[in-house]
Amino acid sequence: MYLKMRNGNVCIEPLGPNEKTPSGIFIPTTVRQGHLQMGKVISVGPGELVQGHKVEMDLKVGDDVIYDSSHSEPLTVDGKTVFVCNMVDIVATIAAKHLSIVPEAK
């Protein structure tokens, strides 16, 4: 799959149920039930202009991220569902080798 994002857009492949990231992070199904989702960055734009200043993209292809799915658009490419969102909708980059993420009870 090849998508070249423009401006501050990011394309993310969501991690499915009971998936484990290459860095060893186990993603429970309950994390994906809210607006915050986990996924892998598959394409990034160069950045965007904000009030006349260029904001560089600080994400790279292959990063594991937590993103706000309520501000992302699903897109089907080559039979796979991916999500496109703006770089400001990326809540966190997961940098730890082994991390257990469990959502707070509501």
Give pLDDT tens digits for 82-96.
999 999 999 999 876
Is the pLDDT reported for residue 29 higher than 90?
no
Flag whether 105 is in a domain. no
- Whether residue 12 is predicted with pLDDT greater than 90 in this model: the reply is yes
Burial, 102: exposed, middle or buried (Cβ in 10 Å; 0-12, 13-18, 19+)?
exposed
DSSP class of residue 33 equals: G
Residue 106: predicted pLDDT: 55
pLDDT at 23: 65
Q: How confident is the model at residue 49 (pLDDT cuts 50, 70, 90)?
A: confident
Q: What is the CATH number of the domain that holds 36?
A: 2.30.33.40
Residue that wins the pLDDT comparison between 106 and 80? 80
The mean pLDDT of 97-102, rounded to a whole number, is 59
- Confidence band of 104 (pLDDT split at 50, 70, 90): low
Answer whether residue 3 is part of any domain.
no
Residue 102 lies in a domain: no
**Any domain includes 86:** yes
Tell me whether residue 65 is in a domain: yes
- What's the rounded Cα separation, in Å, for the pair 6 and 48? 9
- Mean pLDDT over 43-70 rounds to 90
Angle (CA) 40 45 50, round 5°: 120
Identify whether 54 is part of a domain: yes
pLDDT at residue number 20: 63
Q: Which domain holds residue 51?
A: 9-93
Tokens representing residue 96 in the block = 């730890």
Q: Is the dihedral of CA 106, 33, 25, 47 positive or negative?
A: negative
* CA atoms of 94 and 5, how far apart (whole Å): 21
Would you say residue 1 lies in a domain? no
Domain count, the chain: 1
pLDDT of 22: 63
